[in-house]
Structure 1
């Protein structure tokens, strides 16, 4: 089993516990916004990511870092949750827990998440058209696109909605051609 699947499996119960707590206290939207902020901060800072993943950094020091970064920016519920995660020596999973939580929260709110990998950034018009198309495909009123740029796709993009994958990338088309040529 890959390391990503293992961390995802471990992150799931934490994300579910936070979702249940946020929902039962009528703070789901606030906590979702907090978690999105935390995820964005961690993924955009290699230094913060290294600190949270550093086994030589003490639990107390990791909590101090998180407290300084987020104390006035997130709810006490979310901050206490982060402190608990660090206390349980799961700081390395914070980003995975955030991703799981966002997915669960959007599902609970009826928002469809589509992970899009593109060879180039979308214009505003392309983005709007893609949102409308994903809404049609998923039969959903609300859609959240998570766009990632991957220059190796050469051209085009891929969309993942749940377990459904739509691959319009040049790389995907070349792979498909190669597999057809091997059969012939």
Structure 2
């Protein structure tokens, strides 16, 4: 009898639990919509904070030091000279020919940080501003000398953004006319949302006709890693057609 009652109680408990599951109200569809709206708002906020198109948060040591250097250059009236110096130092760090010599200086533990900075300055001299050498020594005192390369890149990127300049590379089959270049520049101002376009021209006869555009570079000086591009060349059109009809490009003389 007791066993029968125990089974009955267990059965009733199970049915009660199942009943709760069956009648649990479903989550409102508005909840999912609200979550999506919140995510979209967060993304918009990120976009607003990252208006330079880098999709990186605009803070950190490199950003802070680059800003300090820019302000120091402007205070001394040497902002143009500082830019030339930074471009020179940036190119120096990217030159494979000096990599071994630079590594010896950076890894010489008999040198103090300031002495190491002075040796690097000797390798890149002459510099045009008085601000840049002082800034490099300041970085050494702050134990930030190894970040000089990253600071130089940030300085150049932010300068392009501050001046509202976007580099755009156009590769064409034949040299463009002034009217064609002006039209491209005006259209790219809208696409890049900048006031000025630095148009870099290249000629590639393999395009047959038309042109290609690239923009949104991580490095606006060396034109590395474009984030956007469009190919309006005849070569691209023929390649696409070849995928459809097969062998068309190979049949070209």
Q: TM-score, normalised by structure 1?
A: 0.60
The reply to whether residue 27 of structure 1 matches residue 81 of structure 2 is no
Distance (Å, rounded) in 2 between the aligned partners of 1:20 and 1:145: 28
What aligned pairs does 1:25-174 form with structure 2 within 5 A after superposition? Answer: 25-44=76-95, 45-47=98-100, 49-51=102-104, 53-54=106-107, 56=109, 58=111, 59-108=113-162, 110-114=163-167, 125=175, 132=185, 134-135=188-189, 137-144=191-198, 159-160=215-216, 165-168=227-230
Distance (Å, rounded) in 2 between the aligned partners of 1:60 and 1:11: 19
Distance (Å, rounded) in 1 between the aligned partners of 2:175 and 2:92: 27
8 A Cα contact 2:189 2:196, kept in partner: yes
Q: Deviations over 1:92-138 (max 9, x none)?
A: 11111011111222333x2424487x9xx989948x95x83644532
Structure 2 unaligned spans of 5+ = 1-55, 201-211, 219-225, 237-253
What aligned pairs does 1:6-17 form with structure 2 within 5 A after superposition? Answer: 9-17=60-68
Give the secondary-structure state (helix, strand or coil) at the position aligned to 2:60: helix
Coordinate RMSD, CA, aligned: 4.1
Distance (Å, rounded) in 1 between the aligned partners of 2:68 and 2:157: 14
- Return 48-57 or 87-96, whichever deviates more: 48-57
Structure 1 unaligned spans of 5+ = 147-155, 171-184
Decide which structure has greater helix share: 1
Give the secondary-structure state (helix, strand or coil) at the position aligned to 1:166: strand
User: Cα distance, 1:158 vs. partner?
Assistant: 5.0
Q: TM-score, normalised by structure 2?
A: 0.46
